[in-house]
Amino acid sequence: MNKQMSLQDVVGQLRDGMTIGIGGWGPRRKPMALIREILKSDLKDLTIVAYGGADVGMLCAAGKVKKVVFAFVSLDFIPLEPYFRQARQNGDIEVMEIDEGMMLLGLRAAAWDCPFIPTKVGLGTDVIKYNADIKVIDSPYDDKEWVAMPALKLDAALIHANRADTRGVCQITSPDHHMDDWFARAAEKTFVTTEEIVDTEFFADEAEARMVFWERSQTTGVVHVPGGAHPTSCAPNYGFDVPHFQEYNASAKDGGFAAYADKFITGKSEDEYQQAVGGLDAIQKLPKPVY
Amino acid sequence: MATPAKDYTLAELIICANAAAYENDGEVLITGIGVLPRIAASLAMKTCNTDIMMTDSECWLLSEPNPLTRGKDYKQMNETWMGFSRIFDNVWSGRRHLTGGPTQIDRFGQTNISALGGTYERPKVQMLGTRGFPGNSISHANSYFVPSHTTRVFVEGEVDVVCTIGYNPERMPKGYTNDDIDLRMIFTDLCVMDFGGPNNQIRLVSLHPGISVEQVVENTGFEICIPDNVPTTPAPTEEQLAIIREIDPKDLRSKQLKDNPPGDRS
């Protein structure tokens, strides 16, 4: 089965009102080419589930979002995502604010077809006060109460991988694959952009196959987009683009998202985007940050 | 031999106080959020508790803490892969002690890093979000670092968004007692506090040199437990300062507190 498709094909499979999970973490390995494609589409009223960064900020700024399920939205070295912040402070979006670990449990519950997973995380906090959908239940085994973290079922998951074959075997060689495997498993359909398309034989090497974190049956479509995580990082291929993020962050104070989008995204193909940010070669030379 | 230093900064005093809090923790993951708590955790791992586990803030456990700044050729001493999903396996096992930096703390030890003011639907200031704070607070030991001890941080009522469980009888979950929650220490620019007062009330443990009880009381929005005799926070030793300089060779610690005050302000 050949699962290769285009960015436009992926967005063509998304619908208004869908719940969409986005892999990566903050400024790391976000499927930004797909985010840009959504920004150019008519899609709206999306519910976004993410360990959020500029992916969430851009979608909020462009009015694509009804609700965000989040534990944080951050650019890391710029702690507060400027457009998510604006959306919250304007009261533009609904939220389900949960603990980072609760999000993992919600994705696992969806992946395992369980209605919920019990946890003590959230007890005693406003997470259970403000989320009417998250119930606290008695245990059949002890005298304590437990948070019943509900399944976070995704209509679609969007992920950026280092390598994939056309059958949907996806490899993440970044030091951390974050929760991407759980996003893939929690979703009805999973679309993966990748730095490199390889032959299936590539995975014959055990060390290579070891870095495949979900089965190809969980992958719906594969899009070849080298540099597609920019301006987020895709270790070990490239780091995140600090000056670009600074410009993006500054645009929130001066010009607004429309000015940023006009300069880089609106009416531009992904190739044209990459030209506007200095070209694929420049992206692939971005240094890795030191923590 | 420990030689008390005569010349040290407030940042270094706080680092050493924070490091001492890990002495009896045994073989647990120590996480210090922010520059001073991170140096403190590394100092502890190199001195008072060499069994500590530590991450590189990305996805590796280290057998040797990373200096805060390092050259291109620095080879970090990985010992175990610890991606984010495995962080939670560790957190929920309880084998961790975290020093975090909340924006608000109330009399119950509840903290806030999510949002300030307005309504929950439309906050005046959106901050980070709850991150992993709810799970940290109910799973393992937690201490807090406050660079500027004021009534804006130590608020009179409850914090605006309760991100962590504290010793609040109104919010205590069914089947839980104060003993199920492990809040340890608070390190500020004025003093060290713990939760050792009646019913885990916040208690003054030591005053930084030159700081009075009155200054602490004035800058705290709620009543704290004040013992009859409050000692002075011990000065760093020359040996500790030498190790701190190795961990932080470019002196990032000098930029963390406003005007980088001296340790002794008398």
User: What is the value of pTM for the model shown?
Assistant: 0.97
Beta strand segments in chain A, E: 19-22, 46-50, 65-70, 94-97, 116-119, 135-138, 145-150, 154-164, 170-171, 187-197, 221-224
User: Does residue A257 belong to the interface with chain B, where contact is any CB pair within 8 Å?
Assistant: no
Domains of chain A: 7-97+153-273 (3.40.1080.10), 115-150 (no CATH)
The two tokens of residue A53 are 């960064």
Q: Which residues contact A273 (CB under 8 A, 6 or more apart)?
A: A33, A36, A264, A265
> Across chain A, what does the average pLDDT equal?
97
Q: Do A178 and B85 touch (CB under 8 A)?
A: yes
Question: A79 to chain B: which residues are within 8 Å by CB?
Answer: 128
Question: A78 to chain B: which residues are within 8 Å by CB?
Answer: none
**Shortest Cα distance, chain B CAs vs residue A12, angstroms:** 32
- CATH code, B10-254: 3.40.1080.10
For residue A118, which phi and psi values (nearest 5 degrees)?
A: -75, 145
If we measure between CA atoms, which residue out of A97, A46, A52, A43 comes closest to residue A76?
Answer: A52
A122 → chain B, closest CA residue: B134
Nearest to A145 among B83, B168, B173 (CB): B173
The two tokens of residue B186 are 């608070």
Question: Which residue's entry shows tokens 């805060």?
Answer: B68
Q: How far apart are CA A86 and CA B114, in angstroms?
A: 14
Tens digit of pLDDT at every position of chain B (266 positions): 589 999 999 999 999 999 999 999 999 999 999 999 999 999 999 999 999 999 999 999 999 999 999 988 899 999 999 999 999 999 999 999 999 999 999 999 999 999 999 999 999 999 999 999 999 999 999 999 999 999 999 999 999 999 999 999 999 999 999 999 999 999 999 999 999 999 999 999 999 999 999 999 999 999 999 999 999 999 999 999 999 999 999 999 999 999 999 999 99
A180 → chain B, closest CA residue: B85
Nearest to B123 among A25, A73, A89 (CB): A89
Q: Report helix, strand or coil for B123.
A: coil
A6: DSSP letter: -
Q: Do B134 and A125 touch (CB under 8 A)?
A: yes
- Helices and strands counted in chain A (H then E): 12, 11
Nearest to B130 among A127, A142, A178 (CB): A127
Q: How far apart are CA A60 and CA A92, in angstroms?
A: 8
ipTM of predicted complex: 0.96
Question: B121 to chain A: which residues are within 8 Å by CB?
Answer: 91
Question: A120 to chain B: which residues are within 8 Å by CB?
Answer: 138-139, 173
